[in-house]
Amino acid sequence: MFFNGEIVVVTGASQGIGRAIATEFASYPVTLILTYNRNEEKMNHLLNELEQSGQAKVYAYKVNIGNEDEVKELFKTVKTKYGKVDILVNNAGITNDGYISMMSNKKWDEVIDINLRGTFMCTREAVKQMMSKKSGAVINISSTSGVFGSKAQTNYAAAKGGMISFTKSLALELADYNIRANVVAPGFIDTSMTKSLPKDMVADVLKMIPMKRFGKPEEVAGIVTFLASQKASYITGKTFTVDGGLING
């Protein structure tokens, strides 16, 4: 068994990759705390589904990951009601694409605040609890855009690339406390984000992917739960791309 009784926090869990990660964790006997910001209806639907089919005790909280007070309140609540966090998955993220010559400060700041600053704040609050237990795992969901860049996504690529460097330093800092930190960097995954891409762009992208298809959210969730488990107890500071071979090396 991968898990038994752990306290797991997954941010941005109402849809897409976050939803798949939540569903994967819910198949184990854990206490699962999920966050969402806008999609309350989708989160309620997910909660009903997991209560019927999963083994986990599942709870959801509306949190703006870019708001420090809300993040602190979340982790205070988790500690008081359920116990100290064992596993944190920083999945919450947004895009707001545009060419650099036309990108406003607001557009830049919004993406950095949620994707990078939000990851920092959630991790800071979670590892305070993990350090006292001298155990834990942090998995940060980045992107292949953060590995090799992406046109018209300087803000997103900067945030996701920053998450990778952040995690490498985090792994070094927390190794003495038996806390591991790793990154999963998905490529093109079949979510609402990729469904909005123009057909000609999709065709061009598929030509670049050796496996000639987009990934499934469940294919990302599998490696996340592996890295969170004791099966990966000697893995830290690493970045794993899930991209059908798009990045080779």
CA–CA gap between residue 17 and residue 222 (Å, rounded) = 11
Catalytic residue from among 59, 61, 99, 156? 156
DSSP string over 174-210:
HGGGTEEEEEEEE-SBSSHHHHTS-HHHHHHHHHHST
Of 76, 46, 70, whose CA–CA distance to 58 is shortest?
A: 46
Q: Are 218 and 20 in contact (CB under 8 A)?
A: yes
Phi/psi zone of residue 79: left (φ > 0), alpha (ψ -120 to 50 degrees), beta? alpha
The encoded tokens of residue 194 equal 């990729």
* Cα 227 to chain centroid, rounded: 12
Instruction: Indicate if 156 belongs to the active site.
Output: yes
User: Which residues are bridge partners to 179 per DSSP?
Assistant: 136
CA–CA gap between residue 192 and residue 94 (Å, rounded) = 12
The catalytic residues are: 156
